[in-house]
Structure 1
Amino acid sequence: MPLFTDHADVSVRPAVAGDEDTIARVQLAAWRDEHAQVLGADTLDLLDERAVAAQWATAITAAPPGHRVLVACDGATVVGFAAIAPVAGPDDTAAPGGVILALEVLPAAQRGGHGSRLLAAAVDLLREQGADQVHTWVLDGDDARAQFLRGAGLGPDDTSRELASGTQPDGSHRVVSEHRWWAAI
């Protein structure tokens, strides 16, 4: 019986300076694959990968307390990422929660367990920070994300928000909706 398998090592680790370019590429590739119908390919084409990378560099190296960025690796290759932040309770007596600000995996690396590992690591970090619940936002029409979150024990809580996304040819703004999904942790 062989001691080694033909499977690459997979892991999740904290993001470090230098990961920002790959994180930006992962994010934009995932968004273009998953959200072109809802957000509009024209809107997604306007996103500047260097500007997105600069924002991730700040999130990695100068984040506020409790904010973390994690990356999923297949061997040494970053194939996904997650970003979390603490959320204060609604009053002084309420326990704090946490939010998953982003969780994306390269389209070609999806269904390999990377999203599940990222979600588990994010929840572990939020628990360490004292969170008793986690939430995230799901864009209308993102059935794959809804299915993934449902399988992980999260569910919608009837809270929604509308966001403007791009300008239409007639000058109007496209409006998209997101729904909040949550779970006790």
Structure 2
Amino acid sequence: MSVHADVSARLAWPADAAAIVRIQLASWRTSFGDAAAEVEALDPVQLTERWTSLISSPHDARLRVLVALERAEVRGFALVHPSFDPDSDQVVDGEVGELVVDAAHQRNGHGSRLLQAAIDTLVADKFSRAVWWIGTGDDALRSFVTESGWAPDGAHRELESATGATVKQVRLHTSLV
């Protein structure tokens, strides 16, 4: 007899905000080692309030937060919205703003479920193209995304933190039609 985990992806509820913050901060501690002091200075309570607000009353109806679940436990989250890049058309271009799976639960299909839910949500919102900014040093995520059919579109950027740490990113895109 085989036992199958109860796994799914759905729109986030306000009650999911604390779990999203826990996963996000853990990911940032790993990803942004140069800005570790900034990550540690963030207030989890304030972040939870911001995520709760974002989930409850987004400034754009096409801004959505999705969660990956194993039973009732949040294992990851994704944020999708219109692309706000200056060279984007907000009617045509959607964006995966963030997609993070708890490190302890990676390689269990949660990322694939979240990505599919993100794509389905962008398609339902009538976007025909999606973009995603990926850290240039995040080889695992970039590999996952490119294996899912995304490709670089030539755009790149550098984001500077308050302490001067620099995050380099490349933009990937995919057609949704």
TM-score norm. by structure 2 comes to 0.90
State the secondary structure of the residue aligned to 2:26. Answer: helix
- Where do residues 135-174 of structure 1 align in structure 2 (5 Å cutoff)? 135-167=131-163, 173-174=164-165
State the secondary structure of the residue aligned to 1:22. Answer: helix
Instruction: State the alpha-carbon separation in 2 of the partners of residues 90 and 60 from structure 1.
Output: 24
Match of 1:129 in 2: 125
In the superposition, relative to structure 1, how do residues 20 and 140 fare at CA in structure 2: closer, same or farther (>3 Å)? same
- Where do residues 51-66 of structure 1 align in structure 2 (5 Å cutoff)? 51-63=46-58, 64-66=60-62
State the secondary structure of the residue aligned to 1:40. Answer: helix
Instruction: State the alpha-carbon separation in 1 of the partners of residues 77 and 88 from structure 2.
Output: 28
Match of 2:108 in 1: 112
Instruction: Indicate if the aligned counterparts of 2:82 and 2:91 stay in contact, CA closer than 8 A.
Output: no
Aligned residues: 173
Instruction: State the alpha-carbon separation in 2 of the partners of residues 70 and 90 from structure 1.
Output: 23
Quick one: which amino acid aligns to residue 124 of structure 1?
Answer: D
Quick one: which amino acid aligns to residue 54 of structure 1?
Answer: E
Greater gyration radius: 1
> Structure 2: which 5+ runs fail to align?
none
After TM superposition, where is structure 1 displaced by more than 3 Å over at least 4 residues in a row?
Answer: 87-91
TM-score norm. by structure 1 comes to 0.86
1:178 positional shift: 1.0
> Structure 1: which 5+ runs fail to align?
168-172
In the superposition, relative to structure 1, how do residues 59 and 148 fare at CA in structure 2: closer, same or farther (>3 Å)? same
State the secondary structure of the residue aligned to 1:19. Answer: helix
Instruction: State the alpha-carbon separation in 1 of the partners of residues 62 and 40 from structure 2.
Output: 32
Identity over the aligned pairs, expressed in percent?
A: 38
In the superposition, relative to structure 1, how do residues 90 and 161 fare at CA in structure 2: closer, same or farther (>3 Å)? closer
1:55 positional shift: 1.4
Instruction: State the alpha-carbon separation in 2 of the partners of residues 90 and 36 from structure 1.
Output: 27
| Correspondent of 1:175 among 156, 166, 174 | 166
